[in-house]
Amino acid sequence: MSEHVVIVGAGHAAGQAVASLRQEGFAGEITLIGMEPYLPYQRPPLSKKFLAGEIGLDRVYFKPPEFYEKEGVNLKLGTRVTEIDRTAKSLRTDKGETLSYTKLILATGSRVRELNLPGFDLDGVFYLRTVDDVDAIRSYFNKGGKCVIVGGGYIGLEVAAVAAKHGIDVTVLEMAPMVMARVVDPIVSRFYERVHSQEGVKIVTGAAVSGFEGKDGRLTKVTCGDGTAHEADFAVVGVGIQPNVELAAECGLGVENGITVDELCRTSDPDVFSIGDCTNHPNPLLGERLRLESVHNALEQGKTAAAAICGKEKPYAQIPWFWSDQYDLKLQITGLSAGYDEAVVRGNPDEGRSFAVFYLKEGRLIAVDAVNRAPEFMMSKQLIANKARIPAEKLRDESIHMKEMAAFSE
C-alpha cells in the first residue's frame, strides 16, 4: 500500500505532526482522527484569553481550516478510535470504519482527573479542558455571583484570575499547604497568594473538598472535610490530568506513567509513534525519563516523530519549560526543580510583581521560576543545559546582567 500516516488525537502535538510531516517532505496520505468536533487547537488560551472572551475560536486553532485542505489531510473529527490491530496495521473507529496505516502516531493527550464526590454531577460543577467546557463556564461568567475553584494549580489560579477580573466573587480551595505546591517553591507560592488576595480572591489552603451540595439539581455550595461550606453559583475543578494510555495498553504497547517511547518518539512497535502529554520519554540532558504536560513538549515531539517517519533522526533532547499567565503576571519556568537544595532569589517577591528564583542542587542550576523576568527565563535554558555552577551571590546580584552569568560558571 502507499504510505499512509494516521494520527490519533487532535491537539497541539497532532497539529504539529501534520505540519512537520509535510515540511519534512512526506508526500503520502495523512489522516487525522479527533474525538472533538474541532480542528487541532491550543489549550493554554482556554483558561486565559479565550475564557476571558478576548479572542475567538479562530485564534485558538493551531492552523486555519485552509491549511488542512491545502496539505490534503483527511480529517475525521468527532470520531473515536476503538481498537488498534498492530499485526494487521489497522484501526477501527466508533463510526464502524476500518483504516489501514503504514505508520501510526498516538497523540491521545490527557483528560481531567475527576472528583468522584457527592454532588459531582450537579449543574454548575465544571472542569476546564475543552472548548465546550469553556463555553459552559463562560455562560456563568455573565451572571456574576460566587465561584469556587477546587485546586490551586495553574488551571485553578488562571481561572480565578479571569473570574476576578469579571467581578465574580472567587474562592480557591487547595488541599496542599500552599498553591501550586507541585511545581514551585514556597517563595513563589506566597507571592501568588499575595497577588490573588490583592485582586480580591480568597485562597483557603489545607482544604479537603468533601462534596458538592445543591438545590433543584443546581450547585449551591462546596463542602470541606472540616465541616466548612462555601457558597457557590458555580465551581471549576482543576485537580490535575491523567494520560490517555488505554488504546496503547490494549494493543500491547509499553505503558508506564504514559506511553513509553524512545528519543525518536517510537513506541515498542517501530511503526507506532507517540507524542505529547501521553508519552513517557527519555531526556538525555537531565538523565531521566519524563512525562511532561506542556506545549513545548507537544510541539517538539511532533517535529521529532514526523522527521523519524521521513527517515531523518532528530532526537528530542531539550530542557523543559512551562508558563502561566495570571493578571499582569507571566510566570515562566525552565527546568525541573524537584530535588533542589537551595533557592536563590533575584528581586523582591514581597514587593512589586517581578522577580526570579534560581534552584540549585549541589551548586548546579537545575531550574528557574521567572515572574515578569524574560532575561532570566531566556538565559536559564542555556545555563541549565550546560549544567552551570554559578555562585548564589552572583545570581542574586541584579547589577549583573543575565547575559554575563555564564562567565561566572565554575
Task: For residue range 25-50, list pLDDT tens digits in order.
Answer: 999 999 999 999 999 999 999 999 99
Please indicate, yes or no, whether residues 235 and 248 belong to a single structural domain of this protein. no
Q: Which three cell numbers stand for residue 250?
A: 490494549
Residue 101 has pLDDT above 90, yes or no: yes
For the chain, percent of residues with pLDDT exceeding 90: 94
pLDDT tier, 142 (very low <50, low <70, confident <90, very high otherwise): confident
Cell of 289: 525519563
Q: Which of 220, 239, 258 is the last residue of a domain?
A: 239
Indicate if 301 and 220 belong to the same structural domain: no
End-to-end CA distance of the chain: 57
In this structure, are 210 and 297 located in the same domain?
Answer: no
Is residue 265 scored above 80 in pLDDT? Answer: yes
Assess whether 344 and 259 both reside in one domain: no
Closest among 325, 328, 361, 365 to 346, alpha carbons compared: 365
pLDDT tier at 357, thresholds 50, 70, 90: very high
Note whether 141 and 177 are same-domain residues: yes
- The amino acid at residue 69 is E
Alpha-carbon span 232 to 235, nearest angstrom: 7
What secondary structure, in 3-state letters, does 265-288 show? CECCCCCEEECCCCEEEEECCCCE
Percentage of the chain exceeding pLDDT 70: 100
Q: What is the CATH number of the domain that holds 355?
A: 3.30.390.30
Question: Does 207 lie in the same domain as 354?
Answer: no
247 with 103, same domain? Answer: yes
In a domain, 322, yes or no: no
- CB count in 10 Å sphere of residue 146: 18
**What's residue 73's pLDDT?**
98
Please determine, for residue 24, whether its predicted confidence score (pLDDT) is greater than 70: yes
Q: Which of 264, 281, 309 is the last residue of a domain?
A: 309
**In total, how many domains does the chain have?**
3
Q: Which of 113-127, 139-153, 161-175, 290-304 has the lowest mean pLDDT?
A: 139-153
Statement to judge: residues 229 and 131 lie in one domain = yes
102 lies in which domain range?
4-110+242-309
Above 70 in pLDDT, residue 1?
no
Average pLDDT, the chain: 95
By residue count, the chain amounts to 410
Domain assignment present for residue 147? The answer is yes
Domain harbouring 104, CATH code: 3.50.50.60
- 92 and 29 assigned to the same domain: yes
Question: 267 near 180, Cβ under 8 Å?
Answer: no
